[in-house]
Amino acid sequence: MKKNITSFILSFSLLLAQAQDVDLMHLPGNWKALWISCPNIDQRGYGVYHFRKILKLASKPPHYIVHVSADNRYRLFVNGKQVCAGPARGDLYNWNFETIDLASYLQAGENVIAALVWNMGEHAAVAQVSNQTGFLLQSYNDKDDDINTNKSWKVYEDSAYHPCSTDNGERLRTYMVIGPGDSVKAAAYPWQWETLDYNDNHWSNARELTNAVMVGYGSDNLWSLSPRTIPLMEETPQRMQVIRRSKGIQPDPAFLKGESPLEIPARSKVSILLDQQYNTVCFPELLVNNGKDAQIKLTYAEALFDKNLSKGNRNEIDGKEIHGNYDVFIADGGKRLFRPLWQRTYRYLQLDIETKEEPLTIVDLHGMANGYPFKENASFECSDPSLKEIWNVGWRTARLCAGETYFDCPYYEQLQYEADTRIQALISLYVSGDDRLMRKAIHDFYISRVPEGLTQGRYPSSRIQVIPTFSLYWISMLYDYWMYRNDTAFVKQYLSAVRGVLDWYEDKIDQKKNMLGPMKWWNFEDWNNSFPGGVPDGANDGSSSLVTLHYVYTLQQAAALFAFFGKANEAAQYSSLATRLSNATYKLCFDSKRNVMANTPEMKTYSQHASIMGVLSGAIPPTQRKAVMQKVLIDASLSQATFFYRFYLNQALKKAGMGEAYYSQLTPWRNMLSMGLTTFAENPDPTRSDCHAWSASPNYDFLATICGIEPAAYGFTKVKIEPHLGELQWANGVLPHPKGNLSVSLKRKGANGIDAAIELPKGVTGDFIWNGKTVKLRQGSNTVAF
């Protein structure tokens, strides 16, 4: 088992390397392969299907490259071995396909190419866009076109699968849209269907649907194909750690190591609660033997719940039960492996087993951790060792929220939202240096635009949701990419869409007040108790200082972008508009008595958020910013920023010259750790999601704020290093810069001094700033002493 798992991981790496050598820019617009499906089915309904094709080869080829895709999803096998899974989520206009070299799996003589394809139909995750059930495989080389999908492929409709756990939202009393669980009857499953020896004479010939065409071609497309732009997801074996309790049986703990099969007697009911001891995103793999008609239910949860559906300390289980997404497997007496079609999120996994007339053997249960293959190429250490745990938990949070798109949360939604994604992308750049998922996210939102010019608030999504403020975050994300990557061609193609978003807002300006007037859609800013539905006062009916200044903040970023690309008129327009709105909002909403920004000109309600954006937009004059931010930190009557908006709180502290206060602002993260969380939550308790990547912002701030590493020019060609150690005595950080590692070593000297060693990559220069003093940095090694 371990040998096979290792081989699978290595093969994924090999396939990735091979696919990178393929020229995807010159594929024909119309392919020879056809989209195929299963005949006599509800093409848009729930269903699981198996496709097969026998391929005869005179000899083992050095390369055999194919393009493959499906709707909704597929797992591809060659001669019984899993090759890859996909497609990367997109939409019908940009339907992704994977490019894979099958050569290492092929042999001289007969081979079987097989694909498991499924359509969740009405039960599909909201993140899953779909047209109808379909499968596609096209050879890259014309001489290998025998493998192309058409009616010569065989197909089988699998009656073993049925959707279950379709009422998650109702049972958990929350919004949950990740798709169904799998209920699988082993007796109805076509075991060994993916192997060469399987007899498929009773299978049907596939139904031909339509031609396969690339995006930009065709006139009646069901799908417009686009090459996958991100690597394949990685899978890593992972074992459950602890048996927390059991009923009806006393399991041997060696079972968790795969060393001692678990025997369940006939006519028994048992329950076993397992604890991974940290949150994970996995494909659980359950291997059973015997136990004809035994039912095994696997329930997954981030935390256990008391009778009031409260979580409390995540490590505690007394008086708590598991509630959550689940799968069901019904054994048929043979040795069978159950693996759900889609990944599951859990810390706790409970097995509820009922056997019939035959005992059941659980041979093994483990997970295959699944996600985007980010690597931790950055490092951070400091004089407070507790920050290392925050770093580790934050990086785990970020990783669990990254798959074929960024996820807001892996358990409940798996949707990609701009507000979340901007923070996630910065974390990815700082910790991994990998920008591919960020690029995909920028493009995903670009193609999500509605006719009004706004991007959708989340995408890919089968349901329309427009959050105008999130369109502003999309522009900020594009601005971030421009600052961190020297990739002007990529950025330039989105400027027209930036203009569309800003035009929508400009049309909503109240010309008398010079603030934003009434606005439709969902004008979300933060989940806090004083913003009903996350919407601040004035956002819907007009004159919100927060939303107006958020618009100003974005106008300033857009002005810098347009000026860089030589669009002086637009840059001047945005700068002038930002100044006009900024001045008016400050005049109407700044309360000089309280020394903070009110939410509206009526000055009836106040929030940290309005003053934070007042500082970030520059509406609050430089001489007042420090006093305002000091008030923001101590005035408990202000509506408080939650974990998400604390990212912007920290940005405002730095702009106000109060970056030294950042270290003292880590209490919410320390509190989460003390409550047993192993990933950072969506909101302070009571919270829905225990894993929300917008709360992993310390992984950005430890390097960008404590170590002070930020770009000072577009493309990160110049850096600004302005440390904010707070109470720390020393800190070291390494950041993966596009031109090589950038390292900073900092040590306090006396009350106000510092010794610093900075290593800049070749071609990178910058400034080191400490207590208002600046020292020029050159490429290579630098030492600074103040």
Same domain, 8 and 135: yes
Instruction: Please indicate, yes or no, if residue 622 is contained in any of the structural domains.
Output: yes
* CATH number of the domain where residue 551 is located: 1.50.10.10
Instruction: Please indicate, yes or no, if residue 783 is contained in any of the structural domains.
Output: yes
570 CB contacts (<8 Å, ≥6 apart)?
499, 558, 559, 562
Q: How many domains does the chain have?
A: 4
pLDDT in tens, 591-637: 999 999 999 999 999 999 999 999 999 999 999 999 999 999 999 99
Same domain, 54 and 137: yes
Instruction: Please indicate, yes or no, if residue 171 is contained in any of the structural domains.
Output: no
- Whether 662 and 651 have beta carbons less than 8 Å apart is answered as no
- Whether 248 and 268 have beta carbons less than 8 Å apart is answered as yes
Same domain, 198 and 256: no
CA distances from 435 to 96, 217, 229, 468 (A): 18, 28, 11, 25
What's residue 4's pLDDT?
38
Instruction: Please indicate, yes or no, if residue 691 is contained in any of the structural domains.
Output: no
Residue 513: burial class (beta carbons within 10 Å; 0-12, 13-18, 19+): middle
pLDDT in tens, 244-301: 999 999 999 999 999 999 999 999 999 999 999 999 999 999 999 999 999 999 999 9
What's residue 142's pLDDT?
83
Instruction: Please indicate, yes or no, if residue 450 is contained in any of the structural domains.
Output: no
Q: Rounded to an integer, what distance in angstroms lies between the CA atom of residue 487 and that of residue 483?
A: 9
Same domain, 330 and 218: no
DSSP state of 535: P
Same domain, 132 and 280: no
**Given 198, 215, 231, which residue is the final one in a domain?**
231
What's residue 213's pLDDT?
95
Same domain, 204 and 265: no
| Tokens representing residue 43 in the block | 């093409």
Instruction: Please indicate, yes or no, if residue 255 is contained in any of the structural domains.
Output: yes
| Tokens representing residue 10 in the block | 């290595």
What's residue 3's pLDDT?
36
What's residue 30's pLDDT?
84
Please list the helix, strand and coil fractions of the chain in percent, rounded to the nearest 5, in that order: 30, 30, 40
Regions of the chain with pLDDT less than 70: 1-26
Instruction: Please indicate, yes or no, if residue 676 is contained in any of the structural domains.
Output: no
Instruction: Please indicate, yes or no, if residue 695 is contained in any of the structural domains.
Output: no
Residue 110's CB is within 10 A of a number of other CB atoms, namely 11
Same domain, 195 and 293: no
CA 482-486-489 angle, 5° bins: 80
What's residue 27's pLDDT?
74
Q: Are strands 326-330 and 181-185 parallel, antiparallel or unpaired?
A: parallel
Q: Which segments within 292-397 are labelled E, that is strand?
A: 295-301, 326-330, 333-338, 344-354, 360-371, 379-382
Nearest to 365 by CA among 237, 517, 244, 463: 237
DSSP string computed for 20-65: TTS--TT--SEEEEEEEE-TTS-TTS-EEEEEEEEEEESS--S--E
Same domain, 92 and 226: yes
Q: Rounded to an integer, what distance in angstroms lies between the CA atom of residue 731 and that of residue 532?
A: 41
**Given 341, 371, 401, which residue is the final one in a domain?**
371
411 CB contacts (<8 Å, ≥6 apart)?
176, 178, 302, 324, 325, 345, 346, 689, 690, 691
What's residue 24's pLDDT?
65
286 CB contacts (<8 Å, ≥6 apart)?
296, 298, 329, 337, 338, 339, 362, 364, 365
Q: Rounded to an integer, what distance in angstroms lies between the CA atom of residue 446 and that of residue 94?
A: 11
Q: Give residue 35's domain range.
A: 2-159+188-231
Same domain, 210 and 253: no
Report which residue type is found at 204.
S
Same domain, 257 and 202: no
Same domain, 520 and 613: yes
Report which residue type is found at 217.
Y
* CATH number of the domain where residue 758 is located: 2.60.420.10
**Given 356, 371, 386, which residue is the final one in a domain?**
371
* CATH number of the domain where residue 355 is located: 2.60.120.260
DSSP state of 536: P
Ranges of H-type helices in 272-413: 386-400
What's residue 113's pLDDT?
98
Same domain, 205 and 277: no
